[in-house]
Amino acid sequence: MTDPILDAIRWNESGLVPAIAQQYDTGRVLMVAWMNREALSATLKEGRAVYWSRSRQKLWRKGEESGHVQHLREIRTDCDSDVLLLQVDQAGGIACHTGRHSCFYRRQEGGVWQDVEPVIRDPGEIYAKGAGGKSV
């Protein structure tokens, strides 16, 4: 089935495209994940971020376990149409599975990576047993 929005994207050899989630009102980068055609279609249809989980090989509706849904405000593509930018409203203020606001909480300082942002909520309180360490 053809769709001009989906057909315009330059999917990689695995049928995926990187998607950057950004808080719409602050510009803060929250996370990077992957989308396939089905995930992008669902995101546009549902008005919330839906990604492709490479580790689980299935669609992943952000917040389906944690409640930290990313409500879509706007979606853009870069000049090459091979990266997506989702401007979202992050429910609960937590985007990272570590319980932080952003997945970009480490900064290089003095030759090592330092955690520079606090955990807002313990992942053990957010996720069902064993789900807190999941990856995309």
Query: Which residues are CB-contacts of 10 (< 8 A; sequence separation ≥ 6)?
Result: 17, 80, 81, 82
Instruction: Assess contact for 66 and 94: CB atoms under 8 A.
Output: yes
Quote the pLDDT of residue 5.
96
The torsion angles phi and psi of 39, rounded to 5 degrees, stand at -65, -45
- Stretches where the chain sits below pLDDT 70 are 1, 128-136
Quote the pLDDT of residue 86.
98
Quote the pLDDT of residue 129.
52
Report all structural domains of the chain as residue ranges with CATH numbers, in order of start.
4-92 (3.10.20.810)
* pTM exceeds 0.85: yes
The secondary structure of residue 127, as a DSSP letter, is S
Long-range pairs for 100-109: beta carbons < 8 A, 24 or more residues apart: 101/28, 101/30, 102/28, 102/29, 102/30, 102/31, 103/30, 103/31, 103/32, 104/29, 104/30, 104/31
Quote the pLDDT of residue 55.
93
**Which pair of tokens denotes residue 26?**
């602050």
Quote the pLDDT of residue 135.
42
Quote the pLDDT of residue 35.
98
Quote the pLDDT of residue 128.
67
